[in-house]
Structure 1
Amino acid sequence: MNQSAKRYSPLQVALIGGAIASTAMLSVFGPAWCRSVKAALQDSPKAIVDQVWQLVNREYVDGKFNQQNWVAIRQELLSKNYSSRDEAYVAIRGALQKLNDPYTRFLDPKQYEALTSQTSGEVSGIGIRMEVNSKTKRLTVVEAIENSPALRAGVKPGDQIVAIDGKLTQNMKVDDASKLIRGKAGTPVTLRLLRDGKSDFNLNLTRATIEVPTVRYALRNEGTKRVGYIRLREFSAHAGDQMRKAIRDLNTKGADSYVLDLRGNPGGLLQASIEIARMWMDNGSIVRTVDREGVSDETFKANRTALTNLPLAVLIDGNSASASEILTGALKDNKRAVVIGSQSFGKALVQSVHELADGSGVAITIAHYYTPQGTDINHKGITPDVKIDLSESQQRYLASNPDLLGTQNDPQYARALSVLTSNNFAKPSPPNQTSQRPVNGRAVDLKL
């Protein structure tokens, strides 16, 4: 496939340098040898094998490749004959495992498509969240997403999905139902719904591209205080816009302080974490990245575009990783927020993700990052200012009752309220209310 003819996804952009990450084959060998290899690889599974090798050779953060002879590994890979792409995929994964880096990994076409969908913050479907109801054991609508075909068609929370395009959903898992409902934008899908014990009925919908909500927020009246509670689930391409909308809306409604909930957030796009940090910080460094030569690629800083200077508490736990830790580290080191909860995951590595010629992909660790105070959190995590761990029973309770997150029934949120009330941490100077400028982040920071 001619790579230059394809539309580049947001995941194909390289870190810091500003250029599109080329997937053209490069080589450390002589030109005559390269021409013969190129001819031999034409229309062969070996083309994908060598494409991955070239990308890793050029970008991988460890120039010593975990003390492996990377050139010899290439020769070994190309000496084999692959009867199928699956055989080539096995060989690629075997070569990458020698780097001993869980974040540098190969993605088959389905895995790459899923990752692209996740980080783009968009899906093609009808826009509903579903669950198997614990009491009825039936597939049930939890929510129809804003501006979705489902919401416009009148789908309501509590609707039971009896069938999808005629296929009964009894004993069907949510993932299997999602595969049936999702599809190319513009194509039809029919749901058979049961509502409030009435007769079931068919509802014809047309799939569309939908922006997945990754930010949820509410104004909590806590005694005499109005607390803006914002939960960020992942750093997708739309996370910045959704966060900006949440902060501005809560400002308008008169929030006195904020709680930013990053618990369970596995990360996402590096540029999204930088953009969101700038919404909370007027001054100071956000993060510094270091390349394979040990040279600092760039230090990202706040740019006097904060949307609020009100007191802020950040909630984290052991599943708050990568981009979540970049944002938390920036807010903590600049004394912009008090951090509450459990030790974070501890991932201080940045990946670049490339689409390959056959629709598969590869994620490559390209940089190490440090918090503004120069702290390396890799395998360590961020230590909260106020450490409060949830017991197993508390975790199970909140997991089975997610609506209680960010309420007085949530011990970590309750502690945040008491800290915000005491106001024992520094606040920055008032923000400069200039318009938000675009961020120049150029990498994916993923917990893969």
Structure 2
Amino acid sequence: MVFTKRGLVLGATAVVLTTVAVTGAGIHLSKSQAFFSESPKELVDEVWQIIDRQYVDATFNQVDWRSTRTEYLGRNYTNPEQAYEAIREMLGKLGDPYTRFMNPEEFQNMQIDTSGELTGVGIQIAKDEKSDRLIVISPIEESPAFEAGILAKDIITKIDGRDTLGMEVNEAVQLIRGERGTSVTLTIQRGVEEIDYPITRDTIEIHPVRSRVENTNLGAVGYIRLNQFNANAARDMRDAIQELEREKVVGYVLDLRSNPGGLLNSSIDIARMWLKEGTIVSTVNRQGEQDRKEAQNRALTDKALVVLVDGGSASASEILSGALQDNHRAKLVGTQTFGKGLVQSVRPLSDGSGLAVTIAKYLTPSGRDINKEGIPPDVVQEMSDEERKQLQANITNLGTVKDPQFSKALEVLQKTLAGGEDGFPVEAIAQ
């Protein structure tokens, strides 16, 4: 889970990382928590009130929210666990997997700074509404899950043999997480095939940006791979672009494949490095448009740009790619993105537990609501599972001619440099 300073997260990161740190710290009750232990019904009403005030859909997804309050406050709760179970049941009526309750331990575990060291298998997961199981948003590059061959959009059917049908994300995280050196077996459904993946948990380092000059028949091309929109991503992206400009590259390929998202502000800051003008994103709450972010005439380059996307490009990745596509700044190459267009506010509750509530959705500059739909690429370039596995097995081939989608990106870049396809600035063509 990734927070901004104001507690806002994007849809794709509004799932619990299975790379949360293992901590031995205990949960200590404050005075308000001690009061709650005697009145667990208070917490049920606290959650109801937050949803009533903030939830993005004023119809509560066609749920009679007031009668729901009467139903759940009419029950007797003798301990916190009963209240927790009731809250999860109550939130389940909304049919929104990203509005969810976390008990004190779960809430404590997910509050990890994005620059911290993480321990786990290295995947981000969400609830798949179609199968009622867990779906992989993306494996983190070079993590144990990535190296084992886990792919974006894989369905997790079992965790150490336990069926995931109906399982909530928080419960799955508890089963998958563990100490470094221990193992967990994920049973993955991919198409009609089910495969067991034994994975050894490890410490995971996240490097948000990797860049280099790739010498091609077009000349020097700047290749930038952005893995995650964490606290360091904008700074590292700026450094990468400035260094590649000094190298006199003729154009850029920005790789957002399998990037599950992260900080909202990071995606906006990075978009401004590529866009001279135009809208980047707007967020809409139940009262209407809440905020609109614009470029600020601070672009670091106007050279031709192609962006690589796939089914693991989600949330903040979709904000960036949607902004570049709608403003005709870049061509998108690859496959349809994941389709996560929701913003959550994460709130601490009176007993030390937490609540993530969907408060807004975001729209691309042209007004597209991509939630559950994703962003279609301008140029479709599929890759087989085998090709993706080969790239995961040897990530040094990413962004080279051995990478089929990168090769297609070079073709698109070449057409732009040769004669200028619609969608790139004139200045870029002249380079």
- Superposed, 1:236-255 pairs within 5 Å as 236-255=230-249
* TM, length-normalised to structure 1: 0.67
Gaps of 5+ in 2: 10-32, 120-141, 149-178, 186-197
Aligned to 1:427: 424
- In structure 2, the residue matched to 1:122 is 116
Q: Does 1:61 align with 2:63?
A: no
Mapped to 2, the partners of 1:168 and 1:58 lie a distance apart of 41
CA gap 1:168/1:336 in 2 versus in 1, 3 angstroms? closer
Question: Which position in structure 1 is the counterpart of 2:161?
Answer: none
The answer for the alignment partner of 1:271 in structure 2 is 265
Do structure 1's residue 409 and structure 2's residue 409 form an aligned pair?
no
Q: Is the 8 A contact 1:11 1:354 kept in 2?
A: no
Partner of 2:340: 347
Task: For residue 110 of structure 1, report the CA deviation from its aligned partner.
Answer: 4.6
Q: Secondary structure at the match of 1:409?
A: coil
5 Å matches for 1:301-312? 301-312=294-305
Structure 1 stretches of 5 or more lacking a match?
1-8, 16-37, 136-166, 183-210, 432-448
| 2:215 corresponds to 1:221 | yes
TM-score normalised by the chain length of structure 2:
0.69
Residue type at the aligned position of 2:335: S
RMSD of Structure 2 on Structure 1 (CA): 3.4
Write out aligned runs for 1:148-227 (5 A).
169=181, 178=202, 212-227=206-221
Identity between Structure 1 and Structure 2 (%):
44
Q: Where does residue 86 of structure 1 map in the other structure?
A: 81
Given residue 254 of structure 1, which amino acid in structure 2 is its aligned partner?
K
CA distance in 1, matches of 2:303, 2:207: 25
Q: Deviations over 1:78-129 (max 9, x none)?
A: 33343443332221111111011122122334543454326x332378xxx7
Could you give the per-residue CA deviations for residues 291-343 of structure 1, whole angstroms, max 9, x where no partner exists?
Answer: 113x2112211010111111111011112112111111110011100100001
The amino acid of 1:330's aligned partner reads: A
AA in 2 matched with 1:427: F
SS in 1 for 2:306: strand
Mark the CA change 1:123 to 1:169 in structure 2 (over 3 Å): closer, same or farther.
closer
- After superposition, the Cα gap between the structure-2 partners of 1:384 and 1:171, relative to the gap in structure 1 and judged at 3 Å, is closer
The answer as to whether partners of 2:144 and 2:200 remain within 8 angstroms in 1 is no
Amino acid corresponding to residue 274 of structure 1 in structure 2:
I
- The CA distance in 2 between the partners of 1:77 and 1:272, in whole Å, is 39
- Aligned residue runs from structure 1 range 63-78, under 5 A: 63-78=58-73
Equivalent of 1:283 in 277, 284, 304: 277
Aligned position for 2:95: 100
Secondary structure class of the residue paired with 1:50: helix
Q: Residue 107 of structure 2 is aligned with which of 107, 112, 115?
A: 112
Q: Return the offset for 1:266.
A: 1.6
How far did residue 40 of structure 1 move? 7.8
Q: Which amino acid aligns with 1:121?
A: S
Q: CA deviation at 1:177?
A: 5.0
* Number of residue pairs the alignment of both structures matches: 336
Cα distance in structure 2, aligned partners of 1:70 and 1:172: 39
Q: C-alpha distance in 1, partners of 2:277/2:145?
A: 46
1:313 and 2:306 matched: yes
Task: Tell me the amino acid that sits aligned with residue 280 of structure 2.
Answer: I
Deviations 1:149-188 (A, max 9, x none): xxxxxxxxxxxxxxxxxx995879998754xx79xxxxxx
Aligned to 1:323: 316
Structure 1, residues 372-420: CA drift from partner, whole Å, max 9, x if none?
Answer: 1122222221111101111222122223222222111111011001111
Query: Partners of 1:134 and 1:428 in 2: how far apart?
Result: 39
SS at match of 1:226: strand
Q: Is the alpha carbon distance of 1:420 and 1:80 closer, same or farther for their aligned partners in structure 2, counting shifts above 3 Å?
A: same
Counterpart position of 1:300: 293
Residues 243-271 of structure 1: CA distance to partner in whole angstroms, max 9, x if unpaired? 11221222223322111111111222222
Match in the other structure for 1:335: 328
Instruction: Kindly provide the amino acid, as one letter, of the partner of residue 46 in structure 1.
Output: K
Structure 1 counterpart of 2:133: none
Is this contact kept in 2: 1:11–1:352, CA < 8 A? no
Aligned to 2:154: none
Task: Tell me, yes or no, if the aligned pair for 1:345 and 1:381 is still in contact at 8 Å.
Answer: yes
Q: Is the 8 A contact 2:272 2:295 kept in 1?
A: yes
8 Å contact kept, 1:12–1:354? no
Residue 442 of structure 1 is matched in structure 2 by none
Q: 1:171 to 1:88 in 2, by over 3 A?
A: closer
